[in-house]
Amino acid sequence: MIRACEIHQYEAVMIENVVEAAAWELFDIWLSAMAALGYEVQFISVSAAHVGGEANPHAPQWRDRLYMVFTRKGVRKPDVEPRPLAWCPKCDANVAAVQWWKKPGRHIGKYRQQYIYVCPVGNHGQVEPYVAPAAAAIDWTDLGIRIGDRVDLGMRPLAGGTLRRIEAGLRMVSDPVMVAAAGNTYDAATGKPGNYLRADDPRVWPFPTQATSSQTGIATKFVMATNHDTGARAFDPDCGPLPTRSTKNGEAIIMAEPFVTMLRRNGTATPIGDPLQTFSAGGFHHGLTVPAGAMLMSPASGGKAKPVTEPTPALVTTTRPMLVIPYRKGARPHSLAEPLSTQATHESHGLMAGQVSVEDCYFRMLHPRESANAQRFPADYIITGNRGEQQMQAGNAVAVNVAQWLGGQVAEALSAA
């Protein structure tokens, strides 16, 4: 890049990389070389889940990245300060949140680890920006395969760690969760007491970061309030509204939404209301779990319920009952209401819908098209190649919403120069 800038004398250059790139031992030397060519740098640390607006929809995926904008001295610097929309309870209104860094110095880091968002009004404290749910990226016409039928169908059984994450996610929440479907020595899938569980509510958060290998799955569970074995978790509908769509029959069945499981180290189960975890180029890491016997109800059909084994009704903007499970190390399950985790270059997310018994849950990996959706590629965008090649392209891409935002800000600055 330095050689190209030396020859072509670009007015502006934009770079995207992982946050860890700043720890490269030659990073400051590289910056000095750009400075010697007459460039000034602006650092932007932001998650793709926090970038968007009316004309630029948010990516339903957590994807912390470091962006650098270099402009030649004398060229107007673009406004690249992230200001995501957030609700401030003290203002009782939506505000343009600003980043607050935990330590002084160079603003390079990850959301929640090195910085948070606060209300621009002094002393109003921390706020949480709006995010798009993982459910927005998932194709609900494909519920996957019943886990207990995989061997009979000639498929390999799911790994023990993946099954334990699904079980842990179903025990933790009655709603769908996104579950990490790959092993981590320290997570709950090891069976060790006190270890954390990689599971999240997909209705609230984006998917975890998608990688280049399959690491995320989605699972859902429904509870039989009566006439069921002792393994069932009953939910009393009189105690409050259900957080997910439900239906009753003679058996008083209550169904929760699916969740996503990350099949990689540190993966967790995540509700479908959260963004997906980051997709990467390393394969398929997200699994979706959907419960057997689950019923779908569409308001457009007059409230008529139908089994998930039948074709799904036309999709609308309401939450559907399911879960995404990342299939890579360090990943966790996610609810469909959260964004997807970062997309990788190989399949890394599975879709699962589950009953109380894990064997009765339906499970599949997320498709490359869903990884592309998490990266905010338009539905009509064509990605060529086989399944693995498509996943690699989707996982290695820059999130479209961030590219649109940064490119627009730089173009505006250059046109005003």
- Rounded to an integer, the average pLDDT of 126-135 is 93
Q: What tens digit of pLDDT does each residue of 13-34 get?
A: 999 999 999 999 999 999 999 9
* Average pLDDT score over the chain: 76
Cα–Cα dist 354/291, whole Å? 3
Half-sphere exposure of 337 (CA within 13 A, CB side): 21
**What pLDDT is stored for residue 257 in this prediction?**
57
- C-beta neighbour count of 416 within 10 angstroms: 8
- Rounded to an integer, the average pLDDT of 179-206 is 54
Number of residues that this document lists for the chain: 417
H helix or E strand, kind and range, residue 222: strand 222-224
Q: Are strands 330-332 and 265-271 parallel, antiparallel or unpaired?
A: parallel
**What pLDDT is stored for residue 374 in this prediction?**
92
Per-residue pLDDT band for 334 (boundaries 50, 70, 90) equals low
Cα–Cα dist 286/324, whole Å? 6
- Rounded to an integer, the average pLDDT of 101-116 is 96
Look at residues 266, 256, 281 and name the one whose alpha carbon lies nearest to residue 361: 256
Cα–Cα dist 323/270, whole Å? 7
Burial pattern 296-322, b for ≥16 Cβ within 10 A else e, equals: bbbeeeeeebeebeeeebeeeeebbbb
Amino acid at 109: G
Cα–Cα dist 410/353, whole Å? 43
Q: Show the tokens assigned to 284.
A: 């398929």
Q: What tens digit of pLDDT does each residue of 42-61 get?
A: 999 999 999 999 899 999 99
In this prediction the pTM is 0.72
**What pLDDT is stored for residue 408 in this prediction?**
97
The residue assigned the tokens 């399944």 is 387
Cα–Cα dist 288/280, whole Å? 17
Residue 109 has pLDDT above 70, yes or no: yes
**What pLDDT is stored for residue 246 in this prediction?**
23
Cα–Cα dist 120/299, whole Å? 40
DSSP-based three-state secondary structure for 284:
coil
Per-residue pLDDT band for 148 (boundaries 50, 70, 90) equals very high
**What pLDDT is stored for residue 154 in this prediction?**
95
**What pLDDT is stored for residue 274 in this prediction?**
77
Give every CB contact of residue 414 below 8 A, 6+ residues apart in sequence. 11, 12, 75, 76
- According to DSSP, residue 65 is labeled E
The residue assigned the tokens 């890491």 is 285
Per-residue pLDDT band for 166 (boundaries 50, 70, 90) equals confident
Is the model more confident about 315 or about 370?
370
For residues 172 and 332, the answer to whether their CB atoms sit within 8 Å is: no
Per-residue pLDDT band for 222 (boundaries 50, 70, 90) equals very low
Per-residue pLDDT band for 230 (boundaries 50, 70, 90) equals very low
Residue 170 has pLDDT above 90, yes or no: no
Q: What are phi and psi of 76, to 5 degrees?
A: -60, 130
Q: What are phi and psi of 264, to 5 degrees?
A: -150, 170
H helix or E strand, kind and range, residue 216: strand 216-219
Give every CB contact of residue 93 below 8 A, 6+ residues apart in sequence. 87
Give every CB contact of residue 97 below 8 A, 6+ residues apart in sequence. 83, 84, 85, 86, 117, 118, 119, 120, 127, 129
- Rounded to an integer, the average pLDDT of 224-248 is 30
**What pLDDT is stored for residue 216 in this prediction?**
61
H helix or E strand, kind and range, residue 392: helix 387-396
The residue assigned the tokens 């919403």 is 401
**What pLDDT is stored for residue 97 in this prediction?**
98
For residues 64 and 41, the answer to whether their CB atoms sit within 8 Å is: no
**What pLDDT is stored for residue 144 in this prediction?**
86
Q: Where are the domains of the chain?
A: 85-129, 136-395
Residue 380 has pLDDT above 80, yes or no: yes
Cα–Cα dist 277/285, whole Å? 10
